[in-house]
Amino acid sequence: MKKKLIIDADTGVDDAQAIMVALAAPDVEILGITCCHGNTPLENVLKNTLRVLKVCNRLDIPVYRGCSKPLLARKQHAGDYHGKDGLGDVPDPDAPGLELLQKKKAAQAMIKIVKQNPGEVTLVAMAPLTNLAVAVQLDPSFPEKLKALYIMGGNTDSRGNTTMCGEFNFVADPEAAFVVLDRYTCPTHIATWEFSCRNSLPWCFCDQWLGEKTEKAAFMKKISRLSMTKAQSADYKKEITEGGGFNSCDTYAMVAAIADKFITEDEEVAVTVELEGAYTRGMMVLDYMQQLDKKHKASIMKKVDMEKFKQMLVNSLK
């Protein structure tokens, strides 16, 4: 049986990489891609998602319009890293039009798809968690019908990439992250910011990976140029990533969801999100002292099979 996925994305460069990895996996069926504000405004996210599907000849996959702003927080984007359009500011004049979008909205689509496939769908969340928070508000039983939830977001060591202590996806909608970590009691796996930095891709691999003579590789090389240049800058390496290489954040959550034995070390702990701190709003909190009294614990990824990760990235551009 194929692994059934819903992908929730704010399609920037790493989302595109993650989606292409899933599309290339022979044992994966993508039931839908729901779009959310995040790396770039929602209209760009929708266009970018369709661009990725087009280059992979998979415009048959349904794409849904989701939330354009956070529940309560101020809207913010990551244009300095992903480009103002979210895909490296290299527009495609022949990009698919938004008339290809489904009529149903993202949260309603999630609920319907999972209701039709109870216990079979894995939700891979690579954006601010607004769509997921809305879905559980509309249907409180939605999380228990999921097979699993994989999240790229949050942090473990108070090391931020947007605020001093906050990772972008959680900071972009802290209330949504709080709701999801509180109410989604299905098996939950989290690829945090520091984890992805510590498992970053060597630059020599990136040169080889993007050097393939295929249409997909040419597309990926073009959209990745801006973010890779940014990631290689001295200030960025020092302040943000620990300087280890290229960090395709969302792809870690995706590969964990679809590749058996990819995660070689993890840790189970109850988690929540700080909503009120002057410096720590949006920071993920790990409850080692068990003061939250939560029965549900999330699995926090620690180490991965890097060779498997590289191979799946290579396969995605063939």
Catalytically active residues are 10
Nearest to 284 by CA among 204, 177, 186, 182: 177
Give the count of beta carbons closer than 10 Å to the beta carbon of residue 292. 15
Give the count of beta carbons closer than 10 Å to the beta carbon of residue 230. 16
Q: Are strands 121-125 and 263-269 parallel, antiparallel or unpaired?
A: unpaired
SS (HEC) of 180-206: HHHHCCCCEEEECHHHHHHCCECHHHH
